[in-house]
A and B are shown apart, each in its own frame.
Chain A
């Protein structure tokens, strides 16, 4: 199929819709058949709403029935939640949300625009991704943008405030379009809350962007140079991708903390996210303790799937790191190339000025102009290299760390179950001992404890099975998303390369007659 297709016309997105539409439909039918895996495979017809809205002007709502499977899961989860952490309200309603069209992953890519500033994100066409999403039952109509970084305050207390804009038709939000101002620590606070709620039950919570003391200090101090603007832009883009990934997670989307983050105008300051706060230090200590524990837990893995997957992710992590390092070198060299080309352009212009042969002089000036334009091209390409390719890789490196964390939690869960079993055994032994020693009050105590620990063992087993189930599902979802993300970004990146080459062709074709004209 691929071979006969003519290459799609260039330009970012619009004409390609029509060709890819056929593709989408093919996809559609094939993925439906694979849905048999779920026990109660839903009637394909009820799954789909073909809503190909391509922009944010209020997409039409439609009905969607979530997997029965999913509903059960959620119902169970609600129960679990109330057992373990009483302070948490049920995280899900069991009725299906009237979600509609999906979020596009393509908003993560910074657009290729003429000017050097890349502040306003452009929402590209989302039609293909929508159809794919719908077939999986993962349909969401929510778009997030992070924009307008603004410095608030002065000196070392200054911070950057970002505007978070949400466009949605989901009914759980009170409005269809709204925006709030948030600062970086707010994002970290959100992540921290979500992580504490969901990570240990096996959900892959997307990690927040990293802190950077150096970067922020420069911004605070007020250096208006290009490196601090670049830093802010890099951070803005990262925050946007972070939110987009978070809302794409069906479970996390339902979380009230997330909702509050997106909606409410005032947010309590998350001081626990500061690196040197008490909570920060506690976090570091816990991390160290965890690392030690991981080494000492020897789990009897009854399910080869988990071992396989862990190995897979380990390998993937290594490979991605290698690739990321190489791509960073590429970005660096391309920037160098751009700078050197600019310098050469200037000296070519000077040479042209001192050349006394008129035609040659003109040709040299033209050469200087061409080289200047090429320098600009290289710079834009370096941006694309970075924002598309390099940042995708670094995002996934951190995501995989979150995945590994989830596997670790499963191990801890198992350990807890194991410990409960061991304790139960001990309690039974104690009971037996008491029976022999004939101490009736102690026997009663022992019986109570046994009951208590029997319940804990049961709970432990349930928890373990639950987390295993959740992880399986999460990993499945994660992998699907990963495939999609990578494919989309790869295609966009290659298109950027094509565009650069085409521009080069244009420039050199314009120059050639000038060279020929030298008489």
Chain B
């Protein structure tokens, strides 16, 4: 595969889904990216006046696995239990695009040279678009971490940004994967138990509301995202259909000796231009709608309580089965499933309740009261701390979501308008020419 370089700032749709408050003490961006055979090499550049760093400006090379390692490090850190960890960037996946290019290469002798060139151009553009998107996803991940007051101070984050050598992060081996898988099952079972516990009363209305909300929201946004993808795909098919039509019209035009000659040739030209416009409509839909929805599918996943172990299995296997690898939302076998914030809080509440009961028991028996007391204190503190930060995080999530939707829906509408107007102009001009000639 040829190398594709990230062009730099102008081509980045990085702020597409995230509204970040610019805190200039730590700025992170991906200044360059190169696609090498089956890996993507990211150049992560940091500008910072944080005293910890040796220099104010520096950059390192990172691969996708290292991003995942960083994400897992956050997720597994107890201290961040009360926070929403930004979702991990999806693995760069050029499989589909590569397959299509290959098929084109082997392909069809029935298509003309011009058609072949155009289709190749289309596929290359698609490849480039996927590439840009994956770079943007990785960048957004880092930028969200850099913007978060607590997460940005993490030691692993510093290592990630600064350490010049390879982090030697190997992918999890089978045992670890299995371990992770089992842990998830245990967690799901635990969750089911906790939520089913009648003794456990949700003390805070806010959280009760959030729980039901997130559950429903997550399902629906995932649905919307899937369908938006299908719309985008149809649009792309439509745009691609114009290629053979334009080619056939063109050869019809060259063969004709009568007045239809100009008509056909003009029409061929028109369809060629329309194709490009339709292509842009499709890709804008993709960027502004699908990608945004997709991002929030993962973000709401990070926040919610899953509906129970059955729901996970269903989600992992059937719904997302056909879309594996597109980073649609971690399936059950993904090792980097984020700790669900609300679940963690409930867990803390359960622990707190248990500690209370243990304390009572100790008191009646008058044994080990001290330990029981201190344990209970600890649980209480943890729970309250979690609750506070969780509340904050959830409110942040909401406002981020609202402003991101606003921005993207506006841009979507504006772009669709722009394309529709361009199409109209193009069609009208062609009509004038066609009607004008005898």
Give the A-B pair count, Cβ closer than 8 A: 182
Contacts of A1 in B (CB 8 A): 436
Does B241 reach chain A (CB closer than 8 Å)? yes
* Listed stretches B48-56, B247-255, B377-385; interface member: B247-255
Which one of A5, A351, A353, A487 has the highest number of Cβ atoms from chain B below 10 Å of its Cβ?
A: A351
Given contacts A2-B433, A344-B231, A511-B413, contact A319 B251 (CB under 8 A): yes
Does A45 reach chain B (CB closer than 8 Å)? no
Taking CB atoms and an 8 Å cut-off, the chain A residues in 472-519 that contact chain B are 479, 482-483, 486-487, 490-491, 494-495, 497-498, 501-502, 504-505, 508-509, 511-512, 515-516, 518
Contacts of B434 in A (CB 8 A): 487, 490-491, 494
Given contacts A326-B244, A348-B224, contact A2 B217 (CB under 8 A): no
A312 to B438, CA, bound (A): 23
Chain A 71-112 interface mask (CB, 8 Å, partner B; 1/0): 000000000000000000000000000000000000000000
Which one of A26, A326, A343 has the highest number of Cβ atoms from chain B below 10 Å of its Cβ?
A: A326
A511 to B220, CA, bound (A): 22
A422 to B436, CA, bound (A): 56
Contacts of B416 in A (CB 8 A): 504, 508
- On whether the beta carbons of B217 and A355 are closer than 8 Å, the reply is yes
Number of A residues with CB within 8 Å of any CB on chain B: 70
Does A23 reach chain B (CB closer than 8 Å)? yes
Of A319, A354, A516, the contact of B248 (CB 8 Å cutoff):
A319
Taking CB atoms and an 8 Å cut-off, the chain B residues in 345-367 that contact chain A are none
Contacts of A498 in B (CB 8 A): 424, 427-428, 431
- On whether the beta carbons of A323 and B248 are closer than 8 Å, the reply is yes
* Listed stretches B34-42, B58-66, B147-155, B259-267; interface member: B259-267
Contacts of A16 in B (CB 8 A): 435
Contacts of B235 in A (CB 8 A): 337
Given contacts A8-B435, A360-B405, contact A340 B245 (CB under 8 A): no
Does B26 reach chain A (CB closer than 8 Å)? no
Does B414 reach chain A (CB closer than 8 Å)? yes
Does A356 reach chain B (CB closer than 8 Å)? yes
- On whether the beta carbons of A320 and B213 are closer than 8 Å, the reply is no
Chain A 328-360 interface mask (CB, 8 Å, partner B; 1/0): 011001101100110110111011011111011
A494 to B427, CA, bound (A): 7
Does A315 reach chain B (CB closer than 8 Å)? yes
Chain A 301-323 interface mask (CB, 8 Å, partner B; 1/0): 00000000000100110011011
Contacts of A490 in B (CB 8 A): 263, 267, 434
Contacts of B402 in A (CB 8 A): 357, 359-360, 518
Does A3 reach chain B (CB closer than 8 Å)? yes
- On whether the beta carbons of B413 and A483 are closer than 8 Å, the reply is no
Additional A-B contacts beyond A498-B424, A501-B420, A501-B421 (12; CB < 8 A): A2-B432, A2-B435, A7-B429, A319-B252, A319-B255, A323-B248, A337-B234, A348-B224, A360-B405, A490-B263, A494-B431, A512-B414
A-B contact pairs, 10 of them (CB 8 A): A26-B438, A319-B255, A322-B251, A326-B248, A337-B237, A340-B231, A346-B227, A354-B217, A483-B260, A504-B416
